[in-house]
Structures are given as structure tokens and as C-alpha cells.
Structure 1
Amino acid sequence: MTQTVIPFLFMRGGTSRGPYLNRADLPENLETLAEVLIAMVGSGHPLNIDGIGGGNAVTTKVAMLSRSSDDWADIDYFFAQVSVEDRIVDFKPTCGNILSGVGPAAIDMGLIPATGPETTVNIHAVNTGARVVAKVQTSPEGVVYDGAAAIDGVPGTAAPVALQFMDTVGGATGAFLPTGNLVDTFNDVDVTCMDVAMPMVIAKAESFGLTGYESAEALNDNTDFFAAMEAVRIKAGEAMGIANVGQSVTPKFGLLAPAHDGGTIAARYFMPWKAHPTMAVTGAQCLASCVLTPGTVAEGMAARSNDRPATITLEHASGQIDVLVDYDLTADGIDLRSAGLVRTARLLARGEVMVPRGVWAR
């Protein structure tokens, strides 16, 4: 064989898609690993024509799994965001949509057995330290992918994967409010800098002359907005203590507006150089936490629930997503115990992906 062969599963997880790999089949060194993933995905071309990426940031994501040495977890989940065109791999963030497929993939890889009609998989998100409990529908034959659960942004229905996220506060920056403030101002734009599941910079859509109800396509065509947003994101990210913000997908950016379709609040999420076609699972948790915290930029845009836990319905570019947040109010904001969401996943293909030996000869 003139190329290096790597076994893989190709899966849709939530509203994202990509290869799921056994960490043991990959190089340990992160620089070499990055080159392998770039070659695998085909980063460096808008269509990822020389790889298995899909030409969009939601289809150039990679999950790497291994049995966990953690006493609590069954599976370690190491995530990589591979850029579409820039040949950059970011190991800082995690991805909750791709995480939707981690439990099913771990079972299909033989890393954990199916235990009945529902198999609980305890997942350690290596990038951020979060703990996630995934409940996967299974049978004696393995993972059950058929079902009646529907999520906006994915056609049809599939078996539900229930996710419960814990230990998500401060995973990247060490603090719920990395700047110490509920609101900061950069380039005359008020923002809330928050780190829950994903470090984010959150602003009102009206601060950029937007309604907050624009389609992802319309936002992507608005180059003036992206230039203004990126300038704010870089300054805010530096204030949050994040290094090399201009070359990293963190912090992500979010816009909020009053709900207009029966939800709690309207939201748009950025990856950050393109608008997300739906909503990131991690970003949804951060945005929901912003809505529940008094004094943030979300103040006055949504009726704050007194329920414990509270369901926050975010209206995104393709529909809605519900986040069930278990929390208490504190003097400094909220004490977040956990956030729950329901996603779906599907195994699309399995086999071997090839990487040039000049990149890695194992």
C-alpha cells in the first residue's frame, strides 16, 4: 500500500458531520496529527476536493475516541476543527453536535458494549474537561439509528441521543465571565464575554445594524458585518485571555434579538468566520446561560424563567433548539449545574481513509 491506511467511521452528529477515529490509530504528536487531519479532510481547497470534507465548517470536524482512564468516564473524546481552506487545525474547542455521535461511534468501534435497549455512555470531553452523559438507543445488534426524533437542520427523523452536559463553566478560560464583567464595550459595541461549554462573545444584533432574523446566507454575504464582528471578537478574545485569537475559532460569536417565532430568544451563531446554518450545541448552552443571567446584553430581550430547571428555546437560522438548564441564581450570575439537549446521529459509512505517506508513514 503506497498510502497510510486509517480505519474510520463517517457519521452525522447532530447538524455536523465528519470522520470518527480511534485515537490509537493516529500519531501522538499534535503537529503531525494536524497534518494528517488536513490531508484527510482536504483542507486548503473550498470544496475539500482532495479529502473527505464537505466544504463547510460543519463538515470538516473530526472526533477521536479512546477508552478513558478517568474513573468517571467510559470514553475520552478529543475534538479537532479543521478549516475548510486555510490548512489550520484548532484543538482548543469542543463540538457538541459531533459529540452526539460519540456514544454511537464508541459502541460501533467496540470501545464500549451495548447494555440493553438504552446504553449510557459517560464521555470526557478532553479539549475542555466537560463531562457528558449520553443515552444511546441500542439493541442486541448494536446501535439503533432509526427513530422518531427530529432536529431542525436535519431532514427526516432518527433515534434520539439525550445529552447531559456537566462541568462546562470556564473550560477554556477558567471563569464563567472571563473578563470579570457582565458587559464590556469594544469598538463601541456592548458584548457579554462568557465561557460555558464554549467561550463566546455575545452582542445584540441591533449593535451591528442587523435584525437578528437574517438567514445564514444573507449574513455570510455581509462582508462589512464580518469585518466589524471580527474586530470586536479579536479585542474581546484578548480580554478573555485567549491567545492567537485571529488564528483560532475561539471565542465564537453570537448575536441575540427578541424572539419572533414563539421561542425564548432569537440567536445567530458564528463559527466564527461563517454563520452557522443551525446552532452549535456548545454555543446553545452559552447563549442560554447568557439569557438566564441578569445584567448581560440579553437583559430585557426575553422573559427570564423562574423554573428550575428552565427550558430556553433558541430560534436559529434553520428552526429552533431547546436547552434544559439546571441552575441557581447567585450574586455573580448563575451557578450552572448541567444543561440537557436531545440530538440525533447516524452512521453514514465505515471503512479506511488514506493519507499520503509523505504526511505520515505511521
Structure 2
Amino acid sequence: MRGGTSKAVFLAQRDVPSDPQALQRFLLALFGSPDVRQIDGLGGADILTSKCAIIGPPSRPDADIDYTFVQIGIDQPSVSFEIVCGNISSATGVYALQERLIPVQEPATTVRVHNTNTGKILRMVVQCAHGEPRVEGDTEVDGVPAKGAEVALDYSGTSGATTGRLLPTGQARDSVYVSKLGREIPVSIIDVGTACVFIRAADLGVTGTELPGQLGSDIYEMAEEVRRWAADRCNLPASGTLTPYQILIGEAQDYRTIGGDRIVKSSEIDFVARMVLNGGAMHKAFPGGGSVCLSVAAQIAGTIPAEARGSHAGPTRIRIGHPSGVIGIFANVDRTADDEWTVREVHFTRTARRLMDGTAYVRRALLEVD
């Protein structure tokens, strides 16, 4: 299924091994990893298409289904349960309705999704007609070539999804020493949807308008040093490779998208943002969980995103300029009576559809223990 700007293999929980080690072997074999082309499996040889969603019955009373997200390594034999993918989560409601896991209600069905990676409830509204979730519609998502039916996602209940706190360090801004620079730079760590560490692109000597393949290896090395520092500050496992997300932030400026056929104007966006990954890759669009976190961070005084935006006023729709275009996320962030920041509301729109279904053939030899 495609969800937003990503694709994933969707599996029923009943069809996958329950033993963690057996599950890891199964998923690597299914995707054809490790192999840079994933030629002997279902993986798409790209971080946006080497994803898996495992769907099962709800394990808590306030949910309709359980959803476990898995990021499968491409050239490395890694199987990560670190994060929730916001793009792929948009397809879970469509899948649940098509599989008749919950009844269809017209003109729209609200699906309560328990994400097992974070222990949070995601709510999505799926448009329906003629007893099925709608696929065709007039909703556009930059990074997806065709329009589709709207899936509205509500991430309001995902504060502290990774670390347990909206501001994991208790501050809107921290300082970290970067060895290649020989000095400290300011960063912001925010956790809603997915924990992210935000870095001023200019502090690493770039603009934030760069596209995949245009950043030098030194930029990725510095960003990874920051991520490891942030993971330590957040008490996250040192073995993790994805969280916190590393996000470069720059002020709003004109840039050409990855397709080369569109110039995003500075007036269309609040800032530019690029997600970079350990190993030298850049997200070709922008992660759903990361966009939720960024929209919230932009409304917290003192953060790197609020500085780039030039304001922290809200509630409002934050417009994020990414390599494939623009994504808008509505957020409402406020202070409590105790002067603590709290997320009142955060939601966004994606499209999703089933691409195929059938039987996958997994090499039995790869499932066996050496």
C-alpha cells in the first residue's frame, strides 16, 4: 500500500512469527535484505519503500486495530521498530476497512489506531462510499503524482511518543559541541509523533534547500554526531539509528524541487526543512511523524524552527518546504496553568491506496537458524 509519500508491505499479524528473532529473519527474507537492490525480495531499494506495517486486532479497548511499523534495512540486515511512520499510518485505516476489520460508515469512518511502537492512539478519518473506503478524490500531496481521497490524521495524543516528554531535556534549546566545527551549536529536541533534533542548516554551512545527493559526507557526519548526543540526552538506546530524527532547518527561501519542474517560492512556506539519515541519505520528501513534530516545534518559543519562522504564534497551519514540495500541518500549541507547553491539536492530510495484494514467496533457507 502507498501511504502519503511512502510505500509499505502490509501484513496481518496472524501471518507473521511471534518470536522476535524469527520475525527479524522473516522480514529480512521477505524484503530481500541485505542487498542494495533488494532484488530477491519485495523491498524497493529506498528508505521510503523498504517499510512494513503489521496490522492486528486491538490490544487495548480504546482502539480499533493495532499497528506496528517496521523500517527494514536495505544494505544492512537491520529491522527497526524505533519509530512510527506518519505517511504509512495514513494507509492503516484504509487497510482496516478494506479487510473488514471494522465496519464501513458513510460518508466517513473514524479509525482509532493503536501504534505499538509508541503506545499512542492515532485517529484518522477515511472517506467512504458504496461500502468501501474511497481512493479517488481531489486531494493533492506533494511527492505523490496523482490526486486521491483525503485521509485526515489526528496526532494530538502523541506528545512524548518516544521519550515520554514533549521537551525531553526540559528546554526549548540546548547546545552541543560538534567536533568538526570545533565549537558548540544550538539545537532543539522536541518529541511529538516522533522525537526530532532540529539543527540550523547554516550552522553546518548549508542553506537547507539542498536536494538528495547534494550534501557532502561531512554534513551527515556532523548531523549524526548531533543525533547521538541527542539520543543520549533523551535516554534512548545507543543501538538506535533513526531517532531522534535529524532535521536541518533554514529560513524560507526559493528552491527547485527534486523533480526539477517546480520552484517553491519563499512566500509559500514558513521555512525549509531536510531530514538527513545516518549513512548519507536524505528523505526525498518529509516524514509524517517528523512533520507533526516540526509543526509543534515551530509554535514553541525559543526553538530553532520558531526562530527560522520568525514567530511562534499559533494556532496555525505550518507550511514546511521539503525536497518534493510543501506539506502543511495544523497545530495548536499552548501553555498550561503551570507554564508548561502542551499540544492541544495537531493534524494533517494524506492520501492512500492499495497497490496490490497476493502471496509473497520467502526463501525457506533464510528463515532457518544457522
1:226 aligns to what? 220
Q: 40, 50, 56: which is aligned to 2:40?
A: 50
* CA displacement 1:45-81 (0-9 Å, x = unmatched): 1111111111111101100111213222111111101
**Using the alignment, how far apart are the partners of 1:333 and 1:152 within structure 2?**
34
1:5 aligns to what? none
TM-score between the two structures when normalised by the length of structure 2: 0.89
1:240 aligns to what? 234
Q: Report the alpha carbon displacement of residue 285 of structure 1 after superposing the two structures with TM.
A: 1.1
2:354 aligns to what? 347
1:172 aligns to what? 162
Q: Report the alpha carbon displacement of residue 166 of structure 1 after superposing the two structures with TM.
A: 2.6
| Higher strand residue share | 1
Does the aligned pair in 1 maintain the 2:299–2:313 contact within 8 Å?
no
Q: Which runs of 5+ in 2 are unaligned?
A: 179-183, 254-265
1:319 aligns to what? 325
Q: Report the alpha carbon displacement of residue 254 of structure 1 after superposing the two structures with TM.
A: 0.4
Q: 162, 170, 174: which is aligned to 1:184?
A: 174
**Using the alignment, how far apart are the partners of 1:196 and 1:329 within structure 2?**
16
Letter of the 2:58 partner, please give it.
Answer: S
Q: Report the alpha carbon displacement of residue 324 of structure 1 after superposing the two structures with TM.
A: 0.7
Identity %: 33
CA gap of 1:12–1:271, structure 2 versus 1, over 3 A, is farther
Does the aligned pair in 1 maintain the 2:169–2:189 contact within 8 Å?
yes
- Number of residues of Structure 1 aligned to a counterpart in Structure 2: 347
Q: 120, 129, 144: which is aligned to 1:154?
A: 144
Q: 335, 345, 349: which is aligned to 1:338?
A: 345
Does the aligned pair in 1 maintain the 2:306–2:312 contact within 8 Å?
no
Map 1:181-330 → 2, pairs under 5 A: 181-186=171-176, 187=178, 188-219=184-215, 222-245=216-239, 247-260=240-253, 261-262=266-267, 263-273=269-279, 274-304=281-311, 306-308=313-315, 310-330=316-336
**Using the alignment, how far apart are the partners of 2:307 and 2:81 within structure 1?**
36
1:70 aligns to what? 60
Does the aligned pair in 2 maintain the 1:130–1:168 contact within 8 Å?
yes
Q: Aligned pair 1:32/2:22, yes or no?
A: yes
CA gap of 1:251–1:332, structure 2 versus 1, over 3 A, is farther
Stretch deviating more after TM superposition (260-269 or 154-163): 260-269
**Using the alignment, how far apart are the partners of 1:46 and 1:113 within structure 2?**
41
Does the aligned pair in 1 maintain the 2:296–2:346 contact within 8 Å?
no
Q: Report the alpha carbon displacement of residue 289 of structure 1 after superposing the two structures with TM.
A: 1.6
2:260 aligns to what? none
Does the aligned pair in 2 maintain the 1:41–1:51 contact within 8 Å?
yes
**Using the alignment, how far apart are the partners of 2:124 and 2:278 within structure 1?**
27
Q: Report the alpha carbon displacement of residue 233 of structure 1 after superposing the two structures with TM.
A: 1.2
* CA displacement 1:282-337 (0-9 Å, x = unmatched): 001111122111112234321435443x2111111111111111221356652102
1:99 aligns to what? 89
CA gap of 1:45–1:161, structure 2 versus 1, over 3 A, is same
Does the aligned pair in 1 maintain the 2:328–2:348 contact within 8 Å?
yes
Letter of the 2:213 partner, please give it.
Answer: E
Does the aligned pair in 2 maintain the 1:164–1:341 contact within 8 Å?
yes
- 3-state SS of 1:102 partner: helix
Stretch deviating more after TM superposition (131-140 or 298-307): 298-307
**Using the alignment, how far apart are the partners of 1:327 and 1:131 within structure 2?**
19
1:6 aligns to what? none
Q: Report the alpha carbon displacement of residue 110 of structure 1 after superposing the two structures with TM.
A: 2.1
Stretch deviating more after TM superposition (226-235 or 89-98): 226-235
* CA displacement 1:94-115 (0-9 Å, x = unmatched): 1000001001111122212212
Does the aligned pair in 2 maintain the 1:131–1:166 contact within 8 Å?
no
TM-score between the two structures when normalised by the length of structure 1: 0.91
**Using the alignment, how far apart are the partners of 1:69 and 1:292 within structure 2?**
34
- 3-state SS of 2:282 partner: coil
Q: Report the alpha carbon displacement of residue 141 of structure 1 after superposing the two structures with TM.
A: 4.4
Q: Which has the higher contact order (CA 8 A, sep 6+)?
A: 1
Q: 5, 16, 26: which is aligned to 2:6?
A: 16
Q: Report the alpha carbon displacement of residue 167 of structure 1 after superposing the two structures with TM.
A: 2.0
- 3-state SS of 2:127 partner: strand
Does the aligned pair in 1 maintain the 2:220–2:278 contact within 8 Å?
no
CA RMSD of aligned residues (A): 1.7
Does the aligned pair in 1 maintain the 2:299–2:333 contact within 8 Å?
no
**Using the alignment, how far apart are the partners of 1:299 and 1:165 within structure 2?**
20
**Using the alignment, how far apart are the partners of 1:112 and 1:357 within structure 2?**
34
**Using the alignment, how far apart are the partners of 2:335 and 2:11 within structure 1?**
40
